[in-house]
């Protein structure tokens, strides 16, 4: 339980508390005043289909209609279309393990990794570490991957694609202390959150991070007449400093298409991890997803663009 004196709690994950679509007709689980603190219990991105003793066969057997469930929605009184909902992230309390998978047909290099693969990590908040693989320690940097409000358009909308209302944004900087601003599209905003991660690299190239169920505590505040075109967020001072202390190895991709440049940079990083750190290609692909950041370095010199893949070398302990 949160120690922040929260005023509302959504616990006991059930069909009444979770959804796998965005729909502005969904009945809210709870109604709160602007400025209220709410604690929400989330389920992992598999929707509870994977466990600590799961295998790659369980990845193959997953029902993809159940993935990325979100907990909610929360009706915020006074929030109306044209406003923004400020979501201040106050606490993230994980379970002690998480999973990372290569899911056939999913991910940046899906055609090159057709077989299912699964890794179970130990998540240890007191040490600030995630034991990903023997000899690979990741910093524990929890955040919600899927977070948003109900869309303007009526009907059911897929949970995965991000949109102007939020959704599967997978912005790893939505960490403790960050405030996310979401454009309100319907009365009450109807806030939901899920897909919580213990660690992830920018771009999540294999399609999964260290997926980990968590309790998340947020403060929900209406910002009147914000008229935002899409989500925005603020990052407090020194929030990024714990991720910039490592030496880095950076591979690049150069191509006339940003997606192709991203693939080239990722392939080069996989080759680097295999060659320099003795990992299998599947392990290297997963490490690239949970630890490496893809960054756009150059967009103005037609016809080619440059994407870098940044590997923090400090994650390797052997």
CATH-assigned architecture of domain 8-230: Sandwich (2.60)
Domain span(s) for CATH 2.60.120.580 in the chain: 8-230
Q: How far apart are CA 165 and CA 215, in angstroms?
A: 22
Averaged pLDDT of the chain? 95
Query: Above pLDDT 90, what percent of the chain?
Result: 92
Q: Model confidence over 208-236: pLDDT tens digits?
A: 999 999 999 999 999 999 999 999 999 99
E strands, 161-315, are 166-167, 179-183, 191-199, 210-211, 214-223, 232-234, 248-255, 293-298, 305-312
Q: Report the pLDDT value the prediction gives residue 3, as an integer from 0 to 100.
A: 56
Please give the torsion angle defined by the CA atoms of residues 233, 132, 203 and 158, in that order, rounded to the nearest 10 degrees.
-80
Q: Model confidence over 92-141: pLDDT tens digits?
A: 999 999 999 999 999 999 999 999 999 999 999 999 999 999 999 999 99
Contact 293, 304 (CB under 8 A): no
Q: Model confidence over 45-99: pLDDT tens digits?
A: 999 999 999 999 999 999 999 999 999 999 999 999 999 999 999 999 999 999 9
Q: How far apart are CA 304 and CA 132, in angstroms?
A: 35
User: DSSP assignment, residue 184?
Assistant: -
Topology of domain 245-315, per CATH? Endonuclease I-creI (3.10.28)
Please state, as a whole number, how many other Cβ atoms lie within 10 Å of the Cβ of residue 52: 11
**pLDDT beyond 90 at 283:** yes
Is residue 6 very low, low, confident or very high in pLDDT (cuts 50, 70, 90)?
A: low
Is residue 245 very low, low, confident or very high in pLDDT (cuts 50, 70, 90)?
A: confident
Domain span(s) for CATH 3.10.28.20 in the chain: 245-315
């Amino acid at each position: 339980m949160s120690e922040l004196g929260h005023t509302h709690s959504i616990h006991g994950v059930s069909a009444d508390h979770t959804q796998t679509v965005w729909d502005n007709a969904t009945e809210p689980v709870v109604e709160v005043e602007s400025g209220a603190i709410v604690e929400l219990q989330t389920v992992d991105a598999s929707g509870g289909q994977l466990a600590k003793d799961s295998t790659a066969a369980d990845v193959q057997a997953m029902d993809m209609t159940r993935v990325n469930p979100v907990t909610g929605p929360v009706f915020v009184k006074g929030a109306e279309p044209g406003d923004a909902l400020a979501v201040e992230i106050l606490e993230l309390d994980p379970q002690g393990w998480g999973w990372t998978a290569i899911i056939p047909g999913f991910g940046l290099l899906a055609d090159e990794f057709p077989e299912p693969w699964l890794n179970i990590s130990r998540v240890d908040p007191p040490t600030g570490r995630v034991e990903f693989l023997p000899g690979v320690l990741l910093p524990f940097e929890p955040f919600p991957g899927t977070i948003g409000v109900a869309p303007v358009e009526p009907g059911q909308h897929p949970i995965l694609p991000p949109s102007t209302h939020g959704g599967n944004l997978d912005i790893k900087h939505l960490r403790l202390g960050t405030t996310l601003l979401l454009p309100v599209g319907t009365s009450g905003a109807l806030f939901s959150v899920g897909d919580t991660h213990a660690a992830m690299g920018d771009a999540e190239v294999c399609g999964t991070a260290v997926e980990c169920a968590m309790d998340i505590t947020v403060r929900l505040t209406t910002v009147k007449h914000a008229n935002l075109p899409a989500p925005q967020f603020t990052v407090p001072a020194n929030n990024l400093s714990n991720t910039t202390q490592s030496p880095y190895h950076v591979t690049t991709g150069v191509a006339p298409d940003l997606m192709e440049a991203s693939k080239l940079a990722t392939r080069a990083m996989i080759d680097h991890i295999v060659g320099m750190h003795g990992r299998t290609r599947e392990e290297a692909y997963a490490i690239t997803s949970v630890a490496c950041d893809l960054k756009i370095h150059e967009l103005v010199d037609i016809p080619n663009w440059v994407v870098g893949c940044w590997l923090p070398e400090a994650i390797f302990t052997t």
